[in-house]
C-alpha cells in the first residue's frame, strides 16, 4: 500500500492529504472562477515559439533556463531548443529521444536535464551536443544544480549526488533516511561554492560540505502530526530561498521557517503548508499554499502582510516577482499578476489551455513562460 501511494502524482497526493475528501462532490473540487478586476497593467507579448509537445500534463518540474542572451527549453520527449531570449530566434534544436522528467539547468556553458529512466544528461549550451551522461540509482524530478566544479542532483529516494561538472564522474553521495510515504517530488538543492543546502521528506534541512559530501549540520524544520501516514507527510518539496544571510524553507503540512545557514538556528516559524518553491521581494517571502492561496510574510518579523485566496483549486505554479508585481500561473493556462503591496490583481494573460505548471522565469524584467503544451512566450508588463 505504501509503495502504491508513493507512486501517486503530486496533484493526487496533495488532494488526498488536504482537508477535502475523495468522496466530496465534484462541485467542491471545481477551480475558483476568475475574479473581475480593473486592469492596472497591460501584458505585451514580445515573441512566441513552440517547443515540441511541451512538458505534458503529467507531474513534472521542467522549467526553462537562461544564460546570457540564450533561453533554453525542453519538452517531455527530449526535444531541446535554444533561443535568443530577446527576439525569439531559434539558435539550435536537438532531439535526444529520451523521456525528460526534470530540468533544465543552465550554467558554465552547459545544460543539464534528467530522464525517466534515471539518467542525468549534460549538453553543450552553444551547440546542444551531448557532453556526458551518468546513470543514477533513482529518479531525479527536481532541476539539477551547478557550481563551478559540481553538478548536484537530488533523487526521490532521499539521496543527494554530486558529479564532476567536466566528465560526470562521481564525487560524493549524501543519504537521508526518508519515510515510505512521500509526495511525488523533491526540492532542488541550493548549491553554493562550499555548501549545498537540501531539504528532505523527513522534514529535515541539511547543509552538506561540497568537498567531501559530509554533513555540516542537519535541522528538523517540520514536525509530523496526525494519526495516519497521510496526515504525517511533511515533505520539504519547495525550494528554499537564501536572502540576506537567512534561509527561508517551506514544507508540506508543516511550517515556513527562517533559519540561520551558519549555525542552523531557527529565527522564526509560521504554520503554513506548501510544496512549491518560494519567491521574495519588497521585504516579503511569498508562499503558494497547499490550497492555492497566495500569502506574503514579512521576512524580518514573520507577520502575514496579506493573503489572496481567489485562486483556490486552480493548481497554481510557484510564484515569481517582477518589478512591483507578483506572478503565478495556473492549470488552465492563465498568468495572474498581483501587486506585491497588497495582493490585489493588476493584470491577467492567457497563454493557452494546456496549463502553466512551470513557474514564470524573470530575467531583466522580461517574463518567460513555458506552457504544458509547449508554448514558449516572452512577455513584458506595461
Tell me how far apart the alpha carbons of residues 266 and 376 are, in angstroms, rounded to a whole number: 40
Mean pLDDT of 350-357: 95
This prediction's pTM: 0.89
Q: 155-187, pLDDT tens digit by residue?
A: 988 899 999 999 999 999 999 877 555 555 678
More confident residue, 263 or 234: 263
Tell me how far apart the alpha carbons of residues 86 and 106 are, in angstroms, rounded to a whole number: 17
Cell 512566450 locates to: 377
Percent of the chain with pLDDT over 70: 87
Tell me how far apart the alpha carbons of residues 106 and 161 are, in angstroms, rounded to a whole number: 18
The reported pLDDT for the residue numbered 44 is 98
Mean pLDDT of 128-154: 93
More confident residue, 28 or 273: 273
Q: 227-244, pLDDT tens digit by residue?
A: 666 655 577 888 999 999
3-state secondary structure the chain: CHHHHHCCCHHHHHHHHCCCCCCCCHHHHCCCCCCCCCCCCCEEEEEEEECCCCCCCCCCEECCEEECCEEEEECCCCEEEEEECCCCCEEEEEECCCCEEEEEEEECCEEEEEECCCEEEEEECCCCCEEEEEECCCCCCCCCEECCCEEEEECCCCEEEEEECCCCCEEEEEECCCCCCCCCCCCCCEECCCEEEEECCCCEEEEEECCCCCEEEEEECCCCCCCCCCCCCCCCCCCCEEECCEEEECCCCCEEEEECCCCCCEEEEEECCCCCCCEEECCEEEEECCCCCEEEEECCCCCEEEEECCCCCCCCCCCEEECCEEEEECCCCEEEEEECCCCCEEEEEECCCCCCCCCCEEECCEEEEECCCCEEEEEEEC
Range with lowest mean pLDDT among 20-24, 48-52, 289-293, 304-308: 20-24
Q: How confident is the model at residue 4 (pLDDT cuts 50, 70, 90)?
A: very low
The reported pLDDT for the residue numbered 226 is 59
Q: Is the pLDDT of residue 6 over 50?
A: no
Mean pLDDT, the chain, whole residue set: 89
Q: 184-211, pLDDT tens digit by residue?
A: 567 899 999 899 999 988 889 999 999 9
Query: Which structural domains are found in the chain, ordered by start?
Result: 2-381 (2.130.10.10)
Amino acid at each position: 500500500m505504501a509503495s502504491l501511494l508513493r507512486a501517486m502524482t503530486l496533484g493526487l497526493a496533495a488532494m488526498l492529504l488536504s482537508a477535502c475528501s475523495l468522496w466530496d462532490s465534484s462541485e467542491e473540487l471545481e477551480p475558483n472562477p476568475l475574479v473581475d478586476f480593473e486592469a492596472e497593467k497591460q501584458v505585451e507579448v514580445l515573441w512566441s515559439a513552440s517547443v515540441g509537445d511541451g512538458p505534458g500534463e503529467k507531474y513534472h518540474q521542467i522549467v526553462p533556463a537562461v544564460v546570457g542572451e540564450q533561453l533554453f527549453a525542453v519538452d517531455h520527449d527530449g526535444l531541446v531548443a535554444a533561443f535568443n531570449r530577446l527576439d525569439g530566434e531559434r539558435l539550435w534544436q536537438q532531439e535526444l529521444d529520451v523521456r525528460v522528467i526534470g530540468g533544465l539547468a543552465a550554467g558554465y556553458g552547459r545544460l543539464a536535464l534528467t530522464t525517466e529512466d534515471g539518467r542525468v544528461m549534460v549538453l553543450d549550451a552553444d551547440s546542444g551536443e551531448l557532453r556526458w551522461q551518468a546513470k543514477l540509482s533513482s529518479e531525479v524530478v527536481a532541476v539539477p544544480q551547478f557550481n563551478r566544479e559540481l553538478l548536484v542532483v537530488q533523487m526521490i529516494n532521499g539521496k543527494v549526488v554530486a558529479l564532476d561538472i567536466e566528465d560526470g564522474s562521481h564525487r560524493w553521495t549524501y543519504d537521508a533516511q526518508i519515510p515510505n510515504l512521500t509526495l511525488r517530488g523533491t526540492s532542488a538543492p541550493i548549491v553554493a561554492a562550499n555548501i549545498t543546502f537540501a531539504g528532505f521528506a523527513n522534514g529535515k534541512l541539511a547543509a552538506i560540505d561540497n568537498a567531501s559530501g559530509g554533513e555540516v549540520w542537519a535541522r528538523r524544520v517540520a514536525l509530523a502530526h496526525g494519526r495516519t501516514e497521510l496526515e504525517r507527510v511533511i515533505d520539504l518539496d519547495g525550494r528554499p530561498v537564501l536572502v540576506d544571510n537567512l534561509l527561508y524553507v517551506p514544507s508540506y503540512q508543516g511550517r515556513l521557517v527562517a533559519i540561520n545557514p551558519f549555525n542552523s538556528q531557527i529565527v522564526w516559524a509560521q504554520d503554513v503548508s506548501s510544496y512549491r518553491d518560494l519567491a521574495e521581494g519588497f521585504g516579503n517571502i511569498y508562499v503558494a499554499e497547499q490550497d492555492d492561496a497566495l500569502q506574503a510574510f514579512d521576512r524580518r518579523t514573520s507577520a502575514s502582510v496579506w493573503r489572496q485566496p481567489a485562486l483556490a483549486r486552480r493548481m497554481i505554479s510557484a510564484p515569481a516577482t517582477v518589478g512591483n508585481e507578483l506572478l503565478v500561473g495556473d492549470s488552465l493556462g492563465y498568468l495572474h499578476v498581483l501587486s506585491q503591496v497588497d495582493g490585489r490583481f493588476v493584470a491577467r494573460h492567457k497563454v493557452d489551455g494546456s496549463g502553466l505548471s512551470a513557474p514564470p522565469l524573470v530575467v531583466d524584467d522580461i517574463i518567460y513562460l513555458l506552457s504544458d503544451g509547449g508554448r514558449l512566450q516572452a512577455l513584458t508588463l506595461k
